[in-house]
Amino acid sequence: MLSTPKILLMILLGFVVWYAIRWFDRLPPRAVRQRDAPAPQPQAAIEDLVACRSCGAYVVASARGCGKTGCPQPL
């Protein structure tokens, strides 16, 4: 049987759900939020590493040397 506290709790729960639905309806749609978000910065191109011909350290293929002290290849 439903008692007075249970009825009041159900009414209170109904108001909470109603206010939550109203609050979520006020949020802008996801497409608008994504459109207004700042554009991500472009990432640098990813390059494979290759071993330096002189000292064996791994560097990007476009580098002329590894940059370590004592490496005979200049940067």
Question: What residues make up the domain containing 9?
Answer: 1-37
- Report residue 50: phi and psi, to 5°: -130, 155
Residue where the block lists tokens 């990813």? 46
- Count of structural domains within the chain: 1
Burial 46-59 (b: 16+ CB within 10 A, else e): eeeeeebeeeeeeb
Q: What is the pTM of this model?
A: 0.38
Q: Does residue 14 belong to any structural domain of this protein? A: yes
List per-block mean pLDDT (blocks of 10 residues) for the chain, which spans 75 residues: 90 95 80 64 79 76 68 59
3 state DSSP class of 59: strand
Q: Does residue 32 belong to any structural domain of this protein? A: yes
> Alpha-carbon distance 6 to 13, whole Å?
10
Q: Note the pLDDT of residue 13.
A: 97
Query: Rg for the chain (alpha carbons), in Å?
Result: 32
